[in-house]
Amino acid sequence: MSSYEARFKVWRGDADGGGLEDFKVEVNDGEVVLDIIHRLQATQAPDLAVRWNCKAGKCGSCSAEINGRPRLLCMTRMSVFDREETITVTPLRAFPVVRDLVTDVGFNYTKAREVPAFVPPAGLGPGEYRMMQEDVDRSQEFRKCIECFLCQDTCHVVRDHEENKQAFAGPRFLMRVAELDMHPLDAAADTGLDRKRTAQDEHGLGYCNITKCCTEVCPEGIKITDNALIPLKERAVDRKYDPLVWLGDKIRRRS
Amino acid sequence: MSVVERQEWDVVVVGAGGAGLRAAIEARERGARTAVICKSLFGKAHTVMAEGGIAAAMANANPHDNWQVHFRDTLRGGKFLNQWRMAELHAQEAPDRVWELETWGALFDRTKDGRISQRNFGGHEYPRLAHVGDRTGLELIRTLQQKIVALQQEDFKETGDYESRLKVFQECTVTRVLKDGGKVSGVFAYERESGRFFVLEAPAVVIATGGIGKSFKVTSNSWEYTGDGHALALLAGAPLLNMEFVQFHPTGMVWPPSVKGILVTESVRGDGGVLRNSDGNRFMFDYIPDVFKEKYAETEDEADRWYEDPDNNRRPPELLPRDEVARAINSEVKEGRGSPHGGVFLDVSTRMPAEVIKRRLPSMYHQFKELADVDITAEAMEVGPTCHYVMGGIAVDSDTAAARGVPGLYAAGEVAGGMHGSNRLGGNSLSDLLVFGRRAGLHAAEYATGAADRPRVDDVQVDAAAAEALRPFSAEAEAQEPAGGPPENPYTLHQELQQTMNDLVGIIRRDAEMKQALEKLAELRVRARRAGVEGHRQFNPGWHLALDLRNMLLVSECVARAALERTESRGGHTREDHPTMDRRWRRINLLCQLTDPTGGLAATDPVRGQIALTRETTEPIRPDLLALFDKEELVKYLAEEELYE
């Protein structure tokens, strides 16, 4: 193994427009795409904008699209590409560009605020929570999420349909609803909040037609569709059409 | 020139890692309108990198644990240099801070009876670390982030505005703390995205910016760790404490080069992983220092029995405090018994079934698989020391987290000094930032809401801060003047700084090398004045780095100067020319202050520099806390006069 010169195309520009710029750049043993972007900054394009932080796949900052596929720059090794291949790096397509590889991901923070928080159970003080491992496993899987927003970027409901953004929270935040719904001690129901119903009525669960694109791009390997979205759909449907639930709701509403 | 936008807040928190978010939650809950400013996106702070866990004596795994035992372990780990009152508060309050997280939605791994599971870690007598696999930091940051969102949802219901009482200014950098006379009056900041300047006026500022690792070449720290808060405090007139103590985590990745320094969690050893040299020997048995002889196993058999029966066996020496393990690895490599890429071997593959490894250490499995093509369930990892944490920091009052000498300034988390003494135990940073983040937020809110009238922000200071921040854009023009040299590339300066600190003020230190480092730092200081950038102010990383260089240079000088002064080896400060711990130094703290409070970078004399050091004798440890230790143990640490006081 040795160094070689790779060919890159990197999107440069801002909200007013831009295009792909060609670079030739040195690549060394074991490097990832983010290393190459950093080398471009240090040697050829000091003002090349890129968002990054931990460089270890733990913070989810350096999301971009490499050869059209949503990925983390820090976890994409150069060795997965052919040396002759030209590697194209572009910003996340579903979000507005700020500059170069940096996009405005504010959509996600807006959606995060629309999901009602964990409701602590009344009558249980700090230190009194008891939960079995098998009961927290599922929600823990969803809490592995590093909020890289690759699933939000790739989801076809919003990727090319800006108009759906208003009504659709995206896989990440539907998974957040599922996480809270499956939390063994969440007391939302006691406050009259039905998380399953809101997933359907307020966060746009119905838009999802389980193509599993989100699961495919998840760098944490979370089974978003199978473990969060499909069960949430099933439970939402159960509630909607279960005649007993329907009757119960009627009676409760009257009293 | 002052057309800079201004906003009024009660408390401004600089930094949105664990300490900053915990401080902001507390300040807001105490009724202060609170702003948080952070360099990254909300929820990306370096705290997400913490792997092992949160140390808190909840006694879920071993009923013998209590705050006194935790306090003892913390002082032993810090070689008795800790600000003992901080260590006491920390050990007492940590369990409440962990339990509180559960009421905000955190999901820790569980014991069989449904309580929070606790794991073993270096230097902790009992299994004490609350954890979530090896991604505890992520759980912590997400829980705090979601608690902040919960508070914003409450505010929205009441006021119709999510940000009426608690607002996060993400991707913004603070370059100056502003003052009205001696007191804090706010901060000067810029938006990284647009380059736009703004001022947040506030009577209280909490600094929670984390560490300084980006001044070193091999580090586990992210780009944010440029010592901003340390420098902001210095420039505001507050002293830094014991900056010579820098923790080199024993186990960072060593290969491939692009990931060199990335952390390999101590949980690998806590859960049974062992260190071996190229001869296949578990060398840590050869490196148990006298002060720890009674606590650690002498044979591999005893060490291995400890995992199952900790009451009747002593712990394996792989679980010595981090400073000891890092030095041992350094020696093995130096004596030619290292691994192919200059580290040693850390092995779990022969110690646990593959399934258990994947369940207990999922991030490590993933990290090595993805970044190094190494399957840790089948082969050993190669690891070596990496710059991880600074024990030194802003000198604070133990109870209130108030910075000394600057009313209205507070500090919590890694940026604050004293809590960990000369060496931090693993797991004690997450508990530290919760305990003192809360205290800083509480006292900042009390101070801010109790103030009779609000301090005024001085236009002259705002203009000066704006001029300082814009300087890199005109550096090229100034370089043409007769006294100047060629313009400098900030990336090149940064690399030279990292190499200097790594090579000359690193894990093993020598008098002559540190003097050489001070000269090099003086040279870099001059050149940094000519650090120029191209382009514009919109998301310009070259510009950001040019501004961060001021902070890294200030902090690096503090480290080098204090390390040169302390002629002993203790914790995260190892002198080849003074290889042993000296009891006379136990009571000595070294304080760094700015020589020229106007804060120009002009001081280029390596002897004088920008930093003045003073020695301070610490307050004696309270007798009831000393009584927690055996006399024979205290004799190893305390000076004669302390023992008989």
Confidence (pLDDT) at A255: 47
Domain of residue A237: give its range: 106-254
| Phi, psi angles (nearest 5°) of residue B347 | -120, 125
Contact of A61 with B49, CB cutoff 8 Å: no
User: Can you give the pLDDT at residue B597?
Assistant: 67
Please state whether the peptide bond connecting residue B256 to the residue before it is cis, i.e. omega within 30 degrees of 0: yes
pTM (predicted TM-score): 0.94
Tens-digit pLDDT profile for residues B46-93 = 999 998 899 999 999 999 999 999 999 999 999 999 999 999 999 999
Instruction: Report how far residue B243's alpha carbon sits from residue B227's, in angstroms, rounded to the nearest whole number.
Output: 11
* pLDDT score for B3: 75
Residue B481 has pLDDT above 60, yes or no: no
CA–CA separation, B214 and B219 (whole Å):
7
Is B249 marked active-site? yes
- B364, B52 contact by CB (below 8 A): no
pLDDT tens per residue across span B504-531: 999 999 999 999 999 999 999 989 988 8
- Give the percent of chain B with pLDDT over 90: 84
Q: How confident is the model at residue B474 (pLDDT cuts 50, 70, 90)?
A: confident
Query: Are residue A37 and residue A142 in the same domain, yes or no?
Result: no
**pLDDT band at residue B607 using 50, 70 and 90 as cut-offs:** confident
Rounded to a whole number of angstroms, the distance from the CA of A39 to the nearest CA of chain B is 10
The domain boundary residue, chosen from A103, A131, A146: A103
CA end-to-end span of chain B: 60
CA distance A217 to A75: 12
CATH code for position A35: 3.10.20.30
CB contacts of A186 in chain B (<8 Å) are 105
Flag if B107 and A140 touch (Cβ within 8 Å): yes
Q: Do A30 and B256 touch (CB under 8 A)?
A: yes
Q: Are residues B142 and A35, on separate chains, in Cβ contact within 8 Å?
A: no
User: Nearest-CA residue of chain B relative to A124?
Assistant: B103
If asked whether residues A73 and A122 sit together in one domain, one would say no
Fold topology of B485-617: Methane Monooxygenase Hydroxylase; Chain G, domain 1 (1.20.58)
Q: Which residue has the higher pLDDT, B536 or B513?
A: B513
Residues 66-105 of B with CB under 8 A from A: 95-96, 99-100, 102-105
Do residues A19 and A36 touch, judged by C-beta distance below 8 A? no
Q: How far apart are the first and last CA of chain A?
A: 75
Q: What are phi and psi of B642, to 5 degrees?
A: -70, -35
Q: Do B491 and A144 make contact, defined as CB atoms within 8 angstroms?
A: no
Average pLDDT value over all residues in chain A: 93
Least Cα separation, residue A243 to chain B (angstroms) = 32
Q: Are B417 and B566 in contact (CB under 8 A)?
A: no
Would the pLDDT of A171 be above 50? yes
Q: Binning pLDDT at 50, 70 and 90, where does residue B598 land? A: low
pLDDT at A248 over 90: no
Q: In degrees, to the nearest 5, what angle opens at C-alpha B183 toward C-alphas B39 and B554?
A: 50
Contact between chains at B257 and A56 (C-beta distance less than 8 A): no
Residues in A closer than 8 angstroms to B224, CB to CB, are: 53
Residue B226 has pLDDT above 70, yes or no: yes
Average pLDDT over all residues of chain B: 93
Same domain, A83 and A165: no
Q: Give Cα separations from B322 to B84, B295, B325, B439 (angstroms).
A: 20, 15, 5, 27
| Structural contact between residues B62 and B120, judged by C-beta atoms closer than 8 angstroms | no
For residue A246, pLDDT beyond 70:
no
Among the residue ranges B84-98, B206-220, B392-406, B478-492, the one predicted with the least confidence is: B478-492
List the 126-145 stretch of A: residues with Cβ below 8 A of B.
126-127, 129-133, 136, 139-140, 143-144
Taking residues B196-222, report their average pLDDT: 96
Q: How confident is the model at residue B212 (pLDDT cuts 50, 70, 90)?
A: very high
Residues A111, A201, single domain; the answer is yes
Choose between B550 and B606: higher pLDDT: B550
Residues A186 and A173 reside in one and the same domain: yes
**Same-domain pairing of A177 and A64:** no
Mean pLDDT of A158-186: 96
Whether residues A98 and A111 share a domain: the answer is no
Boundary-marking domain end, from A61, A86, A103: A103
Token readout for B27 is: 């300040």
Topology (CATH) of B249-387:
Flavocytochrome C3; Chain A, domain 1 (3.90.700)
* Residue B599 confidence (pLDDT) above 70: no
Distance from CA of A80 to the nearest CA of B (A): 11
Long-range Cβ contact pairs of B580-584 (< 8 A, separation 24 or more): B581/B79, B581/B637, B583/B637, B583/B638, B583/B639, B583/B640, B584/B639
Average pLDDT (B16-28) is 98
Which residues make Cβ contacts (< 8 Å) with residue B496, sequence separation at least 6? B520, B524
Lowest-pLDDT range of B403-412, B442-451, B539-548, B554-563: B539-548
Q: Which residue has the tokens 């002759």?
A: A84
Task: Report the pLDDT value the prediction gives residue A245, as an integer from 0 to 100.
Answer: 61
pLDDT of residue B487: 86
Quote the pLDDT of residue B587. 94
Same domain, A89 and A114: no
pLDDT at B258: 84
Q: What is the pLDDT of residue B174?
A: 98
Q: Which residues of A touch B371 (CB under 8 A)?
A: 30, 32, 56-57, 75, 77
Q: Are residues A185 and A207 in the same domain?
A: yes
User: Token pair of A2, please?
Assistant: 């040795």
Please state, in angstroms and rounded to a whole number, the distance separating the CA atoms of residues B240 and B246.
Answer: 14
The pair of structure tokens assigned to B80 is 């008795």
Q: Kindly list the residues from chain B whose CB atom is less than 8 angstroms away from the CB atom of residue A180.
A: 105
CB contact under 8 Å between B103 and A129, yes or no, is: yes
Q: Record the tokens describing residue A149, joined without a space.
A: 């927003």
How many Å apart are CA B151 and CA B140, to the nearest integer? Answer: 17
Tally the domains of chain A: 2
Q: Is B269 a catalytic residue?
A: yes
In B98-236, DSSP assigns E strands to 118-119, 129-130, 166-170, 172-180, 183-191, 197-201, 204-207
pLDDT at B363: 85
Q: Mark yes or no for CB contact A54/B46 under 8 Å.
A: yes
Q: Quick check: B215 pLDDT over 80?
A: yes
Question: Given pLDDT bands bounded at 50, 70 and 90, which one contains residue B452?
Answer: confident
Pair (A152, A199) in one structural domain? yes
Q: What is the CATH number of the domain that holds A188?
A: 1.10.1060.10
Q: What is the mean pLDDT of residues A192-217?
A: 95
Which of A40, A70, A103 represents a domain boundary (last residue)? A103
CA–CA separation, B50 and B428 (whole Å): 11
Cα–Cα distance for residue pair B204/B408, rounded to 1 Å:
4
**pLDDT tens per residue, range B244-295:** 999 999 999 998 888 899 999 988 998 899 999 999 999 999 999 988 999 9
Q: What are B247's strand-pairing partners?
A: B389
Question: From the candidates B70, B142, B269, B583, which is the catalytic residue?
Answer: B269
